[in-house]
Chains A and B, each alone.
Chain A
């Protein structure tokens, strides 16, 4: 029993990490009032480019660099069309999601393979065992033995909180989102902050995708992101773009996913149904969060 709980909580950390990164990146765009639903596609791009580069070069530093740069390129396309050209950001986001899938699919077909699996890739070598915590009975089994980006994601919750609330940059991003006219009147370059917000999201998604494919599994399939980007969007909505709260909802999703996986062993035939629990949970949370947010507002309209 204790072993099962340990395993559930370890998996919770494991499944939360990519979504936390996505959430922490995406919330800046949310605060700057640029709804970025391309998180899904950007994450897929991160997952794809990281595996592909590592497959071709076996160079981790170059992999990290190319993953981040290529995903930022999508971020630039997004912000150029959405901010500078004033296009509809929802449609641009959906288009980027379609394009990243198509690009990955296209390259896979050109490579004549249905997926990329890294040969001779030692996943265990990436896992970091934290010296002291490792030896603490339950805590060690849960917190120790994760890959670097997972720890990075947990540290980012704190760092992004500081960036959002205790730096000039964070305040300006929020001002741009809350009142663009006010931001302009005090001489802020609003477009600059919107670009920056979207690009932070792109970096978060790149790392999240890299964590998802390269660090955790060493393989890539074209459907592996499976809505995690949209879950991140839902978590950002639920937490109203506040770092700690939004990350909390991401962890909640990770927990329900971990429960689904660990308990499905006992479910026999119905195991497949467990996979839909995280999504339904997110809908329920979003409904409750939206309801309590709007309850006290007397303004009409949607």
Chain B
């Protein structure tokens, strides 16, 4: 490896590690302030989610949809298209898959699941296309549009879940449970891990090839670096925006359908958690540097935090919101490059060795 490559690797590693360290440090101060022991809390957090077999399988289970939303965010953010609608695509995909899964009966397991996923993809893509269309044809800022759409969609789904598709047999607002044929079963019984995780891994490999080896991936990078230049070289930037928004919507739709069929089984008003899986995906994409391998590592790390949040809640007196706070702080510090590109690490290390 050349000096330049080593520099790049070390730099991106440190630029990821410093924010995480700072965020945990501030989290520790907050935990101390309410009179609890931060080391104990962090110990429980990491031990339960990474160093027990069942815990680690659960972590992988939580990581599944987040890997997909992370990829969905990465492919748009990398091209400087700020698609905040991943959360919306995920919800609309999940809702539609949940309804189809509940009312479609009489088919064997695999066709049922395929139909559920197909419907979720159609809705997820259609939702993302609205923003893409407004961006390309009207030049409306996609970030504001997708934000507004998320709020509108949440209201629409709330209405549908409380009236048209409400499960009248249930005491709280939710849609009917999906049929057994649509559900993913747990592989190991004890942990929550299901076969959907292998679907996720497959999609991750495909996205790796798309982003790293294909022409589209190269074009996305070019758009991110300089859209005017990309356009000047003869690329149709508008067309590319539509394509990446469709990919993003499809990935988010699959993530939603998967989460529906493997974990939630019905749409509730807290389906995606708080903050939602789409927002988690944003943190993961940032942490992973918009790189598929980075996203895999970041998603597992972050899913560990999520599993750990429940453990913290169970075994200590610390509110699990502390994890949401740490998450926000990580994003905040990730926005800044602590170690700039001019900082030649490898050269310094070499100079030290020679001296």
Q: Which residues of A contact B (CB under 8 A)?
A: 37, 77, 81-82, 85-92, 94-96, 98-99, 101-103, 105-106, 109-110, 226-227, 230-231, 233-234, 237, 269-270, 272-273, 275-276, 279-280, 282-283, 286-288, 290-291, 293-294, 300-302
B321 touches A287 (CB 8 A): no
By a CB distance below 8 angstroms, the chain A residues around B95 are: none
A279 touches B275 (CB 8 A): no
Chain B positions within 8 Å of A95 at CB level: 328-329, 331-332, 334-335
CB contacts (< 8 Å) of A280 on chain B: these are 148, 152
> How far, in whole Å, are A251 and B73 apart by their CA atoms in the complex?
33
Majority SS at the chain B contact face? helix
The segment from B136-144, B254-262, B296-304 found at the interface with A is B136-144
**Selected contact of B325 from candidates A77, A89, A99, A282, CB within 8 Å:** A99
Chain B positions within 8 Å of A81 at CB level: 332, 335-336
Q: Could you tell me the distance in whole angstroms from the C-beta of A261 to the nearest C-beta in chain B?
A: 13
The interface residues of chain A lying within 8 Å CB-to-CB of B337 are 87
Residues of B within 8 A of A88 (CB): 335
Give min CB distance, B139 to chain A, whole Å.
4
**Least CB separation from A274: chain B residue:** B155
Q: Which chain A positions have C-beta within 8 A of B151?
A: 226-227, 230, 276, 279
With the chains together, A105 CA to B227 CA distance in Å?
Answer: 40
On whether the beta carbons of B134 and A98 are closer than 8 Å, the reply is no
Q: Count the B residues whose beta carbon is within 8 Å of the partner chain — how many?
A: 50
Residue of A nearest to B279 (CB): A98
- Which B positions have Cβ atoms within 8 angstroms of A? 30, 34, 82, 134-135, 137-141, 143-145, 147-149, 151-153, 155-156, 158-159, 162-163, 227-228, 231-232, 237-238, 241, 275, 279, 282, 286, 319, 321-322, 324-325, 327-329, 331-332, 334-337
Residues of A within 8 A of B143 (CB): 37, 90
A98, A106, A269 pick with most chain B CB within 10 angstroms: A98
Contact B324 A105 (CB under 8 A): yes
In chain A, what residue has the closest Cβ to B84? A94
Chain B residue at minimum C-beta to C-beta distance from A94 = B331
CB neighbours (8 Å) of A270 from chain B are 159, 163
Neighbouring A residues of B334 by C-beta, 8 Å: 91, 95
Closest to A233 in B: B144
Q: Which of B147, B227, B331 has the largest count of A CB atoms less than 10 A from its CB?
A: B147
- Is A230 a contact of B148 with CB atoms below 8 Å? yes
Q: Is the CB of B159 within 8 A of A286?
A: no
A91 pairs with B324, CB closer than 8 A: no
Which B residues lie within 8 Å of A230 (CB)? 144, 147-148, 151
